[in-house]
Structure 1
């Protein structure tokens, strides 16, 4: 993974030397490899990877050309079914820096992302790369978080983001912290832990607490391997940890029964979920049966709550697995989620999964699981 997102571009003087931008072709690869070798000492993009980006037409890949020589490039990548772009890499040949080329490349990358109706352009940069940081801050990128020991040499990365022109934030926004699930079956606990962190509810060490929540909320079985978590079990775990919860489900009784075929497994899943339902009812936790609408979701978010929701990832990666995410915000066009999943694509970073903008129509298709579109959402706030 070329995790550098290597911003070698420098801030530019006013007397910038003209250069043209062209779509990268295989003929450019030898010069691109040379720029890569001259610009970075670790985490370089290989010749093979350059060719793959070009031949498979992955994202937007453009080169800066001056006097028939390639002097810089950028690669912007996109996540399917979302409006998020990632500046995967940007570099300027050391002999051609301080001529405005880096600034021109960055502006073109933003334009490409905007043309694809993306809300955000994100990147990672080394904390000690002061020239790159100066450029990004001058261009209105803001710091999101530090990722410790992110690079091959164990140096830290700063994640930056820019809201592209079409998005107008209102007021000051406190970001919901991001957390990556530590196992393939703990998306629900990881989503709950992010909400706890936002509401300043203390917890044990991340993986320990994540696995404890899973043990409390697991359905035992699921499509394959370890079972995930049911909505009622997650709600019980949230209540135990000092949260106020309202459960919204599309049907009464146990859910996710269609995820297994074996009747004995179905019986066990039903029994354990019914125990969770009984416990919630005894504790007076509201369980609302019906359609949890987008309007209701937005109302809950506007009141300061967060929502853990069950989705199908099929519209994003053609996988039919049930998946829990944390919904952090919504506006007239998008629902913003923290997705705890570790994606399999090498060019997707954790920063891509924080406040991930999902268009309303896409979210409506993703919200729910299975052929019967079973829906579940936990509306969370700190208990009074």
Structure 2
């Protein structure tokens, strides 16, 4: 009989044995297993069976089965990572010893992790699987996962990976492949990177490149922000989009200046205020609508439904506990969530930063920056010209 429980430090040897038996590359170390067994953002569970159910060894040179914390044999494990501030989880790793396969262990592990994800308020489970792993792909399909993309050269042996997702509660399907993703190449170009994704989504002929990323930043930057390079102003991004041949509209919940609170140097603060004033004047000359109003999420729904694109300024606090303004592209929505493309994947795999689901009830809190609670959108559409 197979039973499941939460992994502990007493399972580390057994987990390492499973890892070495099941994988030849991309193995988790014992120290990583220890880290995940204690991490708040992870769910690590093991499957075990009574030792008297273990088949008699035919080869005397094979090692005896390793015991877990309870004196039973640990025959498999599942590791789920939970992304802070979103509805997303990732089935990071799952493995079952060869002599325990065919007993439904993997299915039990995945279903249990899904239940644990729901208990923690998460509605989506994603995973990557080697394109050559036909058995695993068949199991994931059986359990309700569906492919939403491909990741080339993903594993150490250069194998490609399928990207799959399961919705843990009923939700409208996500057309994930329709929206391009771009990784920002500097610490300060999230704005132009998000803008390029949105413009490419509206016109597949638009080319995304570092040259274009930096050119857009030069147009949209406030020059200074806090202690580093200037961040991109919503009106500046709208001007950059119009220069590229798109139509743009800006909605801000309060009047400018927006980003002077974090600029302590009086001279720098004056420059930021001057740049913002110039943005407003230029926007008026080019006919860009800048609405100063306390917007609601319905405007996002309406824009996406009409075939437009949306950029949103968020605070990264919900993701990493850092109060940093950050631009993202909203790739879609359904009755439960908004989906975000985050261009900054410097701390993880790019697949974790694409179509990030954020619950509707959490979105307005995420889309609010600073003590003044600045909330702003840039709405884009193809130019009629």
TM norm. shorter chain > 0.5? yes
The answer to whether the 8 Å contact 1:201/1:242 transfers is no
Closer, same or farther in 2 for the Cα pair 1:83/1:285, shift >3 Å? Answer: same
Q: Which has the larger radius of gyration?
A: 2
1:224 deviation in Å? 2.4
1-side partners of 2:204 and 2:295: how far apart? 26
Is there any run of 5+ residues in structure 1 with no aligned partner, and where? 1-17
The answer to whether the 8 Å contact 1:219/1:272 transfers is yes
SS of 2:150's equivalent in the other structure is: strand
1:173 deviation in Å? 7.4
2-side partners of 1:223 and 1:146: how far apart? 38
Alignment of 1:201-350 (within 5 A): 201-342=204-345, 344=347, 348-350=348-350
1:137 deviation in Å? 2.2
1-side partners of 2:177 and 2:77: how far apart? 34
1:192 deviation in Å? 1.0
The answer to whether the 8 Å contact 1:213/1:237 transfers is yes
Closer, same or farther in 2 for the Cα pair 1:149/1:173, shift >3 Å? Answer: closer
Closer, same or farther in 2 for the Cα pair 1:225/1:172, shift >3 Å? Answer: closer
Alignment of 1:1-384 (within 5 A): 18-67=1-50, 68-164=72-168, 166-169=169-172, 175-342=178-345, 344=347, 348-384=348-384
SS of 1:258's equivalent in the other structure is: coil
SS of 1:342's equivalent in the other structure is: coil
After the TM superposition, which parts of structure 1 deviate over 6 Å for at least 4 consecutive aligned residues?
170-174
Closer, same or farther in 2 for the Cα pair 1:58/1:29, shift >3 Å? Answer: farther
Is there any run of 5+ residues in structure 2 with no aligned partner, and where? 51-71
2-side partners of 1:82 and 1:105: how far apart? 23
SS of 1:248's equivalent in the other structure is: strand
SS of 1:87's equivalent in the other structure is: strand
TM-score of the superposition, structure 1-length normalised? 0.88
Closer, same or farther in 2 for the Cα pair 1:313/1:57, shift >3 Å? Answer: closer
Give a deviation string over 1:242-272, Cα, whole Å, max 9, x none.
2221111123344212121112112222222
SS of 1:22's equivalent in the other structure is: strand
What RMSD, in angstroms, separates the aligned Cα atoms of the two structures?
2.1
